[in-house]
Each structure stands twice: as structure tokens, then as C-alpha cells.
Amino acid sequence: MEKRKVPHDFLWGGAVAAHQLEGGYDKGGKGISIADVMTAGANGKDRDITKGILPNHYYPNHEAIDFYTRYKEDIRLFAQMGFRCFRTSIAWTRIFPRGDEEKPNEEGLRFYDDLFDELLKYHIEPVITLSHFEMPFYLVEKYGGWRNRKLIDFFVTFAQTVMERYKDKVKYWMTFNEINNQASVQNPWSGWTNSGILYEKGEDVQTVLQQAVHYEMTASAMVVKLGHEINPEFQIGCMLAMVPFYPRTCSPQDELAAQTAMEHRLYSYGDLHVFGEHPAYMEAFRREHGICLDITDHDRKCLKEGCVDYIGISYYMSSTISSVETEGSTQVGDGIYVAPNPYVAKNDWGWQIDPQGLRYSLNLLHQRYHKPIFIVENGLGAYDKLENGTVHDSYRTDYLRQHILEMKKAMFLDGVLVMGYTPWGCIDLVSAGSGEMEKRYGFIYVDKDNHGNGTLERRKKDSFAWYKQVIESSGEIL
């Protein structure tokens, strides 16, 4: 298996998101995004979300790694590694600073014109996420974020603007990053990053969440349809956080608990994107829990007309579900607990490392959806040490090697169609979860610490040459 090559047109590259690397948060007419009001947390400490930008607070996304002015230098490095594609997002607030304007901000549009031209100069395909945890903060203040149906129109206007503008430069799109991430309502910030929602005391979280998701799904479907009209060559995907849930034991209760977790936290999102209708198990759940949503016939029609072309996934870890409380477990639902898995290792942030889980996940999605799968995030967050101007990060190449190997098994032994592989944070950037700089994923080291100190100088890590060889050999030399 080691020696097998992936097809010639396989999309090797790297992935980032605008708010995590661009910086320039107030440059070029950009508005404030929801990421701009998130302070730095730490390993094990959540980020704070402030009511606007307050003095004496550190907001790591404001400068990030200053890709906004250094993108040419960085793209040259990506080209040296042989990237065939580069996944990033378009910061909504560069195009519509408040989110509800009628006319876009030309300076923001020009920035992405230049960025995409620079990529295309090296034959690197842009792969674009339309909404990656960075909606305009104004839409939250004025409209309550995705609680509000009006957001559908604002998002569709944004998407239409950029799809028309870049129709000859960008072929691969995704609508909402990790749309199912917000199903883990235990994370106080997941409703914020995905939907601009902070749950209020006393409100029914499931009602609010599912309503917001319905609006997002409707908007996503409208954009898929519109995109295909703008350019029939467009490939427009969804993006799911793929965390497979294993039953902790072979007891039927654990098996059912794992199945329910998969439905609520993953499949209900994928099913809507791929099949274009609300699945029966969610309709039943809502009926049983007295949850009534605002869903119109027009919404249902839109959902049916805008099914996605491919499934984008992030894969970092697996998880384990128990139907009973066990040592170290956390309750995540009625009779559903996430429990530690004794068979797999963890990284320094407690994320379970499970390469075989990637093969398992690819198979699950392939069997359910029969769509091409694009692995648009995978990687190891780690503490790196700069030694004589470089980083000896064999732990990172080990992680990636094992995952690529499992991906190849899924492709060659199981018949799964995988379109491409873009490891997360191909250049060090600000962590979404903790706001740290020192949770590093990159092949390129960026000199900056958790407090914002550093020269921002870029250095190649050992993994840089390794990944170059992986791409050059079409995955044969790992």
C-alpha cells in the first residue's frame, strides 16, 4: 500500500481560513467579524467573546500572521512544496463590512482578485469556503445572527457577489465550514463561531440551534443552485467535521447511543446537504420534544434544488460513546456520554489520534452518500521548538503519513473516491479553538507567540521537504 500512487489530478494542497491568518482586521475597508471579538484563550482555557472590541484585551486574529500583506511570500513557499490547490475562505467582512449593505466593498473584492491571481500564477487552484467562523459582527448585533431568517438573503447576496466576480478563477467552493460543529452545544463558543449565537439563559438550546441550522442549510442550498447557474463547471461542496463515534462496548445500548450521536451530530447535517430534505429521525426528535421550526414550502423546495456535489470533511480524531456514565466521561445528551478510548493516543490538547478512524470515516460517508470526498482538514496541533532556524517535527510527519496511508487504503482497497487532501494550517496560524499561536500545524514556522510577540518571519520545518516529496511522488513516498 505504501507504494501506491494516487491519481494524477488528485488535489494535494493545504488549508487555512481568512480570519486565522490574514490579519489586517481593519484594513481595506474591512468590517469587524465575530472572530475579531474573540480574545486569546490557552490550552484548556476557552476564549472570551467580548461585546465589541474592548481596550486592554488581546485579540489574536487582528494581526494573525499578516497574510494580508505577506501572501505573495507565503504562496511562493506553497508553490515550492508543489501545492495543486490552496483552501482558504473569503472574509465576508472584507466584501460586506456590516453584512447587510446593498453594494460590496470594491477594495475587498480586489484583494481576493490579487490573491487568486497569485495562486493561479503557480497553477494552484483556490478552494474557497464561503463562511468559516467569521460572519460580520454587525449581523449579530443588529439581527441576532442566524437566529434570524434575514440572514439567508444577506448570505446569498454575499455568495452571489463573490461567485460572479471569481467565476473564472475559482472552481471549488464550500458553503459553511464544519456546519455540524455547533451540534456540540457543550462548547459555549460553537454556536458563536458557526452561527453568531450565544444561548440565553432559559431558552431551549435545541430549538435555537435547529432553527439556525435550517436557515443555514436553506441558504447553502440556494447558493449551490445559484452557483451552478453562474458557472456550470463549479464544484460546490458542504463541509462536515468528521468525528466518528464508536460505541464504547458491544452492548446494544452503547451501539444505539453511538448511532444517535452520529445522527444528531453528523448525519442530520450531511443528509440535508446531500439528499435535500430533513431526515425522518430529526423530524421525529422534534415532534417528541415539542420543537416547532419555521420551515416554509419554499425552503423545502430550495433544499431539494441545491444538493451538494461533494463532501468536504475535516478529520482530526475519533470519539467514543457510552450509554452510561464511566470514568472520565462527559454527558452530551440524554443517556449519551463521550468516554475516553483506551486504544488510541492523544495530542497535547487531548484530541484522540486515530489514523484508522479516517479510513473508517471515509467508508461511512462513501456508503451513505455515494459522493466524492475531499479531505479539506487533517493535521496535528503540536508545540514546536525552533532549533538552528528550523523545526524537527517528525511527530507531525508521522501523524500525516499514517493518515495518508489510511486514506490510500480507503481509496484502493475500499473503492472510496477521494478528490484531494489539504492538511490544516499548512502555515502556522491562530488556533480557532484556543486562540493560541503555539498550537502549531504548519510546514512553515511563523515567528510569533501566544502573546503576539515575534518577527512574523517564516521558516521551513523538516515537514516542508517531506510534504514536497509526498506531492511530487503522488503519495508514493511517505
Identify how many contiguous H helices and E strands the chain contains and give both numbers. 15, 16
CA–CA dist 436, 428 (Å, integer): 10
Please state the closest distance from residue 314 (CB atom) to ligand BGP, in A. Answer: 5
Does the annotation count 229 as an active-site position?
no
Task: Choose, from 22, 134, 178, 216, the residue flagged as catalytic.
Answer: 178
CB under 6 A: which stretch of 141-149, 166-174, 322-330, 425-433 binds ligand BGP? 425-433
Does the annotation count 178 as an active-site position?
yes
Compute φ and ψ for 6, nearest 5 degrees: -85, 165
Looking at beta carbons only, is 140 or 432 nearer to ligand BGP?
Answer: 432
Return the bridge partners of 446, or none.
458
CB under 6 A: which stretch of 26-34, 211-219, 256-264, 428-436 binds ligand BGP? 428-436
Of the candidate residues 178, 216, 384, 428, the single one contacting ligand BGP (CB under 6 A): 178
CA–CA dist 188, 176 (Å, integer): 19
**Buried/exposed 26-43: b ≥16 CB within 10 Å, e otherwise:** eebebbbbbbbbbbbbeb
CA–CA dist 217, 385 (Å, integer): 42
Please state the closest distance from residue 386 (CB atom) to ligand BGP, in A. Answer: 20
Residue 177 binding ligand BGP, by CB under 6 A? yes
CA–CA dist 424, 440 (Å, integer): 10
Residue 47 binding ligand BGP, by CB under 6 A? no
Residue 439 binding ligand BGP, by CB under 6 A? yes
Residue 17 binding ligand BGP, by CB under 6 A? yes
Residue 315 binding ligand BGP, by CB under 6 A? no
Residue 90 binding ligand BGP, by CB under 6 A? no
Closest CB to ligand BGP belongs to which residue?
A: 433
Q: What is the DSSP letter of 56?
A: T
Q: Which helix (H) or strand (E) holds 22?
A: none
Q: Binding pattern to ligand BGP, positions 356-395, x when CB under 6 A? A: ---------------------x---x--------------
Looking at beta carbons only, is 6 or 311 nearer to ligand BGP?
Answer: 311
Looking at beta carbons only, is 36 or 178 nearer to ligand BGP?
Answer: 178
Nearest-10 crossing angle of helices 205-230, 297-305 = 50
CA–CA dist 276, 250 (Å, integer): 33
Strand order in the sheet with 336-339: 245-247, 319-322, 336-339, 330-333
Task: Choose, from 118, 216, 377, 436, the residue flagged as catalytic.
Answer: 377
Of the candidate residues 185, 433, 458, 478, the single one contacting ligand BGP (CB under 6 A): 433
Which residue, 283, 302, 303, is CA-closest to 292?
283
**Buried/exposed 183-209: b ≥16 CB within 10 Å, e otherwise:** bbeeeebbbbbbbbbeeeeeeeeeebb
Of the candidate residues 211, 431, 450, 463, the single one contacting ligand BGP (CB under 6 A): 431
Please state the closest distance from residue 57 (CB atom) to ligand BGP, in A. Answer: 19
Looking at beta carbons only, is 281 or 351 nearer to ligand BGP?
Answer: 351
Of the candidate residues 407, 432, 446, 471, the single one contacting ligand BGP (CB under 6 A): 432
Q: On the CB side of 302, how many CA atoms lie within 13 Å of its CA?
A: 19
Q: Which of residues 235-264 bind ligand BGP (CB under 6 A)?
A: 241
Looking at beta carbons only, is 302 or 426 nearer to ligand BGP?
Answer: 426
Please calculate the CA angle 153-289-198 and round it to the nearest 5 degrees: 45
Which residue, 188, 233, 29, 7, is CA-closest to 111?
29
Residue 36 binding ligand BGP, by CB under 6 A? no
Question: Contact at 8 Å (CB) between 421 and 10?
Answer: yes
Residue 135 binding ligand BGP, by CB under 6 A? no
Residues of this chain that interact with ligand BGP (CB under 6 A) are: 17, 20, 177-178, 241, 314, 377, 381, 424, 431-434, 439
Which positions are catalytic?
178, 377
